[in-house]
Amino acid sequence: MSHNPESAPSPRFALPGHCVIALSGRDAVAFAQAQLMNDVDATPVGRWQWSGWLTPKGRVIALFALVRVAEDAVWLIVADVDPDALATRLQRFVLRRQLQVEVRRDLHVTGQFAAPEHASGASFAGDVLHGIELDVSGFGIRRTLRIAREDAPQDVQAEMQWLSSDLRLGFPRLPASQAEQWTPQMLSLERLHAYSVKKGCYPGQEIVARTHFLGQVKRGLTLYEAPQAPEPGANVDVGAASLGQIVCVAPNGTHWVALAVMPSDPPEAVIATNGIPLKERALLAGLAR
């Protein structure tokens, strides 16, 4: 499997599994700060971060890019979840705060395997009227995410390549069966700077902070390559023992890649899932924001 950069930029293509949930209004940022797992207050207008929403037991409901588009507005760029269901769940916690939680169906999320024209790192480019672009590149993989009213053609092969690159860069794409199963540490989200252990309370914060400060992180993500598709939720067998679990999978050329939650120091032995041999590969760096 090659990890070389793409030889030529591709055209933009639709990412139909992605959508935008907008939080807007006087209390939008305060609400996001109280509910989401990263430090929204520390992200000024014009920048973005990885973040997520947790259950009270510290399990990840959804992961997303959080974009601070205005002093009183943030966009959540979510994938792999029902946006209406997620927005409805968030709405239950608004109570008397002054904000709107809205699925922005007028906005389309598209991708391109090319360096951004203007965005760089955690700084986005553009504006809410004309569209914004995010730099979601990582080591050896140049990528641009664009959110705008204009859509792009569907390209299933490019969409699958995008999914595969997410996994290779250590961004877990959680199918419904894997939502609310894992803590941020189990998903190695410290690699992406996607959660905070220093800001005030948020759902699951006590579990996240205790795990961090007591040094109880004993499992994290491992990237594997397989000759056929593993099944999310399937056990990963190391020798005769089942020591981990497949979280998400994606096609990658003639092979498949999979992220699995595994012990930090597994024993040396043959690794497989449901009889499918797995070869460990290094996670690519560079996606931290």
Is the predicted pLDDT of residue 1 greater than 60, yes or no? Answer: no
User: What average pLDDT does range 9-13 have in this prediction?
Assistant: 86
pLDDT at residue 217, as a whole number: 78
| β-sheet bridge partners, residue 132 | 126, 147
Round to whole Å and give the CA distance between 115 and 70: 25
Residue extents of the structural domains in the chain: 13-168
Task: Tell me which DSSP letter residue 222 carries.
Answer: E
Rounded to the nearest 5 percent, the helix, strand and coil shares of the chain are 15, 35, 45
- Phi/psi at 201 (nearest 5 deg)? -65, 145
Q: Kindly tell me if the per-residue pLDDT of 229 is higher than 50.
A: yes
pLDDT (mean) for 227-249: 97
CB 252 within 8 A of CB 1: yes
DSSP-derived secondary structure letter, 123: B
- In sequence order, which residues have a C-beta less than 8 Å from that of residue 96 and are 6 or more positions away? none
Q: What is the pLDDT of residue 9?
A: 60
- Could you tell me which CATH number the domain at 13-168 has? 3.30.70.1400
Model confidence pLDDT, tens digit, residues 42-65: 999 999 999 999 999 999 999 999
pLDDT at 8: 58
> Which pLDDT band, with edges at 50, 70 and 90, does 41 fall under?
very high
pLDDT tens digits along 157-204: 999 999 999 999 999 999 999 999 999 999 999 999 999 999 989 999
Q: What angle do CA 259, 215, 30 make, to 5 degrees?
A: 75
Q: How far apart are CA 166 and CA 113, in angstroms?
A: 12
pLDDT in tens, 114-159: 999 999 999 999 999 999 999 999 999 999 999 999 999 999 999 9
Which pLDDT value is given to residue 179? 97
pLDDT at residue 92 above 90?
Answer: yes
Predicted pLDDT at 152:
97
Q: For all residues of the chain together, what is the average pLDDT?
A: 95
- The residue behind tokens 């209004």 is 25
Query: Mean pLDDT highest for which of 214-228, 258-272, 274-288?
Result: 274-288
What pLDDT was estimated at residue 5?
46
What Å distances lie between residue 231 and 91, 175, 210, CA to CA?
A: 33, 11, 31
Please report which confidence band the pLDDT of residue 16 belongs to, taking 50, 70 and 90 as the band edges: very high
Residue 86 confidence (pLDDT): 98
Please give the pLDDT value at position 2.
43
* Measured distance CA(206)–CA(109) in Å, rounded: 34
Quote the pLDDT of residue 6.
Answer: 46
Contacts of 8 (CB under 8 A, 6+ apart): none
Tell me which amino acid residue 56 is. Answer: P
